């Protein structure tokens, strides 16, 4: 996430987005049964809502995001969670002055990035060996793309008029390739929202080798 490419994304509150109810159950499922006590980093934490869910589950949580309004709302809503206004870079752990994390989550972020490879590499480096990365992003696949075409809905779905909107559109295959290039393995997939193969978003977990 290059700083010179960032346009401020404003968060008016710390409320859940319309997508949280779809992806959060799948995110928690992919974390596994032993969640309490884990050190969790949320990359692109926005207003902190996802961080709050992990804090309620007994995790030690840190959230980072370049949005000043997002971090301000997060700090007000979740005073027990550490929030920092910053980008994920190769110096992530040094900048945070933290050891590697057990779990890194990043929800609805990768579709907004000009340089997703550097973001994923930063997340890989931020995990301890055996740690898990979980990300969500709007799902795109053949049947969904066909349905959008038949409904003449592409302009609305991929609107170029949405400031700070989506600029990358991921399929399961392309997301796996991105994560694999960084060194992740053991991929797990969950679709969320709507009918199978027409999902609103997808949730992917991958592990850093031991």
Q: Could you list the pLDDT tens digit for every one of the 210 residues in the chain?
A: 444 445 567 787 878 888 899 999 999 999 988 899 999 999 999 999 999 999 999 999 999 999 999 999 999 999 999 999 999 999 999 999 999 999 999 999 999 899 999 999 999 999 999 999 999 999 998 888 898 899 998 888 778 887 777 889 999 999 999 999 999 999 999 999 988 999 999 999 999 999
**Residue 154, domain member (yes or no):** yes
**Residue 171, domain member (yes or no):** yes
* HSE-CB of 161 using CA atoms within 13 angstroms: 4
Domain that residue 128 falls in: 3-8+23-207
CATH number at residue 88: 3.40.50.150
Which of 124, 126, 122, 118 is CA-nearest to residue 99?
126
**Residue 16, domain member (yes or no):** no
Query: pTM of the predicted model, to two decimals?
Result: 0.91
**Residue 17, domain member (yes or no):** no
> What DSSP line would sit under 145-156, residue for residue?
HHHHHHTT-HHH
**Residue 13, domain member (yes or no):** no
């Amino acid at each position: 996430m290059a700083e010179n490419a960032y346009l401020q994304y404003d968060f008016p509150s710390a409320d859940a987005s319309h997508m949280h109810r779809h992806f959060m159950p799948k995110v928690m499922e992919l974390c596994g049964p032993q969640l309490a006590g884990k050190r969790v980093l949320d990359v692109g934490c926005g207003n902190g809502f996802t961080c709050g869910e992990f804090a309620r589950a007994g995790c030690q949580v840190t959230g980072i995001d370049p949005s000043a309004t997002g971090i301000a709302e997060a700090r007000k809503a979740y005073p027990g969670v550490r929030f920092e206004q910053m980008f994920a870079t190769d110096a992530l752990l040094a900048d945070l002055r933290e050891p590697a994390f057990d779990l890194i989550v990043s929800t609805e972020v990768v579709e907004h990035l000009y340089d997703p490879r550097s973001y994923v590499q930063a997340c890989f480096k931020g995990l301890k060996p055996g740690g898990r990365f979980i990300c969500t992003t709007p799902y795109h696949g053949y049947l969904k793309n066909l349905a959008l075409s038949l409904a003449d809905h592409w302009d609305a779905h991929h609107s170029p008029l949405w400031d700070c909107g989506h600029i990358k559109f991921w399929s399961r295959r392309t997301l796996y390739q991105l994560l694999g290039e960084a060194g992740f393995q053991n991929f797990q997939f969950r679709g969320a929202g709507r009918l199978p193969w027409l999902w609103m978003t997808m949730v992917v977990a991958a592990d850093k080798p031991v």
